[in-house]
Amino acid sequence: MRETYVVGVGMTPFGRHEDKTIEDLGQEALRGALANAGLEFPAIEMAFCGHAMQGTTAGQRVINRVGNTGIPIINVENACATGSTALYQAVMAVRSGVADVALAIGFEKMGRGPIQNPAVAAARPAATPRPAGAAPMPSMFSEVFKAHSKKYGTTIEQMARVSVKNHNNASLNPRAQYGFKVTLEDVLNARMVADPLTLLMCCPTSSGAAAAIVASAEVARSCKNKPVAILASILQSERPGTPGDALHGVTEINTRAAEKAYAQAGVKPGALDLIELHDCFAIAEIVHYENLGLCARGEGGKFAEMGFGEIGGKVAVSPSGGLLAKGHPLGATGIAQVVELVEQFRGESGPRQVKGAKLGLAHCQGFGGAVTVHILTSQV
């Protein structure tokens, strides 16, 4: 397998974007990534376009706004892991020698309220209970919290601290959808969505786009900005669980994917400087601390309570604000995570800069199910 690098990134702010189309958003991210790499569009040899709810040929509609060169354009859908799956495919194309330069782009326009796409909304383990009248994903994570709390003693206050951290980080991110600070009391007293999850413990629906250009070492040497090496790119699907086990779907697949990524990269969890993980709900971040090997199983609540995931802590988790506060346009999320890592490595993150960041991990979970883990480094 060839060495593979991210050479350019681009991203729109996340938010509502009522006045923009996916074509508008996608071309903004794509043009940004090209300029960041110092490349012209004809350098792109393949394009992988992530979108979950935009129609079968949305990728062509977006890319043809920028250029129409007859290259392969592949539309990708993998629930919340859609964007990161597009990135995985771009990495595989360059690693294998099929292309020297490949584009991964993700974009989405979403309405307010619970996810309306039936396939995405239904992507939850069949054995997971759903309280009457509750939206499917919040209700699933309500059960995840209850199971984790019963087994390990995780508290609502520990979960709320995740929201406080990520909103505080987002207040330093001009592209975040919810760029404001919140207090513990704000989180605990917000409107109840699926007991005990309040509104501020749930990610919003969002619109936006993000793009990353992946290239071979030879191309990377001639690009405008410092390339970022991709040490690991992993995609895994679910294995059957035990009926009624609310934790299986958020533990087994994520732990397995992370272990494969660490092995492929040849690094240990303790070496990471920052992580962008799939904090679709506050309890998910706590469970993923454990899945990613940041702490022992059952100690995720304590990890949050002690502030170990804060900027300046043991490892900066979701310095962008994460899905909880930066936003979660399904097709764009996984690529936006890599945008954050690349900008952090280049020292471009302003007041949320993680000092000395050199090694980072991006993690996405699409329920139904798929998990991606990418490990990147600036030490090249």
- Predicted local confidence at residue 132, as pLDDT: 46
Q: What length is written for the chain? A: 380
Active-site entry in 49, 80, 295, 364? 80
107 close to 51: Cβ distance less than 8 angstroms: yes
- Predicted local confidence at residue 273, as pLDDT: 98
**Tokens at residue 323, please?**
């899905």
350 close to 329: Cβ distance less than 8 angstroms: no
Candidates 348, 276, 351, 358; CA nearest to 317 is: 276
Active site residue 280: no
Distances (CA, A) of 62 to 8, 125, 142, 306, 332: 18, 33, 37, 44, 13
CA distance 299 to 17: 39
Q: Write the pLDDT tens digit of every residue in 330-358.
A: 999 999 999 999 999 999 999 999 999 99
Show Cβ contacts of residue 68 under 8 Å, excluding neighbours closer than 6 positions.
none
Distances (CA, A) of 52 to 46, 115, 261, 309: 20, 11, 25, 30
CA distance 124 to 128: 7
User: Which is it for strands 370-377 and 359-366: parallel, antiparallel or unpaired?
Assistant: antiparallel
Map out the domains of the chain as residue ranges. 4-112+205-220
Does the domain formed by 4-112+205-220 have CATH 3.40.50.150?
Answer: no
Active site residue 248: no
Q: What is the largest CA-CA distance in the chain?
A: 57
Residue linked to tokens 């679910």: 238
Show Cβ contacts of residue 270 under 8 Å, excluding neighbours closer than 6 positions.
none
- Predicted local confidence at residue 1, as pLDDT: 83
Q: Write the pLDDT tens digit of every residue in 84-119.
A: 999 999 999 999 999 999 999 999 999 887 665 545
- Predicted local confidence at residue 130, as pLDDT: 46
Around 107, how many Cα atoms within 13 Å sit in the side-chain half-sphere? 30
Alpha helices in the chain (DSSP H): 22-37, 58-63, 82-96, 118-121, 136-152, 156-170, 184-189, 217-220, 248-265, 282-291, 300-305, 322-325, 330-345
Secondary element (H or E) of residue 227: none
Q: What is the pLDDT along the chain (380 residues), one digit of tens a residue?
A: 899 999 999 999 999 999 999 999 999 999 999 999 999 999 999 999 999 999 889 999 999 999 988 999 999 999 999 999 999 999 999 999 999 999 999 999 998 876 655 455 555 454 444 444 446 899 999 999 999 999 999 999 999 999 999 999 999 999 999 999 999 999 999 999 999 999 999 999 999 999 999 999 999 999 989 999 999 999 999 998 877 899 999 999 999 999 999 999 999 999 999 999 999 999 999 999 999 999 999 999 999 999 999 999 999 999 999 999 999 999 999 999 999 999 999 999 999 999 999 999 999 999 878 999 999 999 87
Active-site entry in 17, 51, 148, 328? 328
Backbone dihedral region for residue 235 (phi beyond 0: left; psi -120 to 50: alpha; all else: beta): beta
